[in-house]
Amino acid sequence: MDPGSDSSPPDRPDGRAALRRRVVAFSWLLIGLLVAYALIIATSGRLLGSVARILALAVVLFAALRIRHVSRGRTDAVGVIAVAAVVMTATASVFAGGELLAVLTAATTIILVAVAGSLVIHSLMANARVDLATVLGVLCIYLLIALVFSSAHELGGAFLTGYFEGAHRPPTAGDCLYYSVITITTVGIGDISPGTNLARMVTVLEALVGQLYIVSVVAAVVGRWRRGTSNGGA
């Protein structure tokens, strides 16, 4: 059993307390991701928008650290990564601009999201039972996936002219996140569409990953959770 996991049965008082702690931790992570989404959309066309975005994702990373009971050494290392990402992006917002700033911010976003996602996945795998915290965790992973593809679109838009049709040239972070969410949820409004083969390839990959994740991981977790609650479990 992982030393950082809560191994107490859910029907015991200490088990219920551990479950409440996990639910609160995952709830804060989910709220942090939604705030990061709102900041990306609201500030995508502004100079300090990149800094606000990285700051929000750094908070998300530290929320993931609270979920995963890591050692002090790993906590320090991840803290250094987050601070370095914020400082680098803040410096780039002053001395760089346009495509260079977009590339640096998108690459930093992918790094922060990848680290946060790995911490969440490790925490979920360390907990054998499926409960409300597990459901919140897999939903957080879903939002993190959309952020990764949003940053991939941002990188593509910075290097390829006409990457998107119906968006800014180059597309802003808000354009990319909006398109990513529309794609992964298969809403398909159509106001923004892929304009290059690379954009089409990333779009197809995101749609497939998103749907496979929903019909396999999310469906399995929710199904096990509902069976557990119907049998009186947490």
Digitized pLDDT (tens) for each residue of the chain, 234 residues in all: 344 445 455 555 556 787 788 888 899 899 989 988 998 888 866 566 777 777 788 888 888 887 766 444 555 666 676 667 666 666 665 565 567 777 888 888 888 888 888 888 888 888 778 888 899 999 999 999 999 999 999 999 988 889 999 988 888 888 999 999 999 998 878 899 999 999 999 999 999 999 999 999 888 888 888 766 655 554
**Model confidence pTM above 0.85:** no
The predicted pLDDT at position 3 comes to 40
The predicted pLDDT at position 30 comes to 92
Rounded to whole angstroms, the Cα distance separating 19 from 6 reads 8
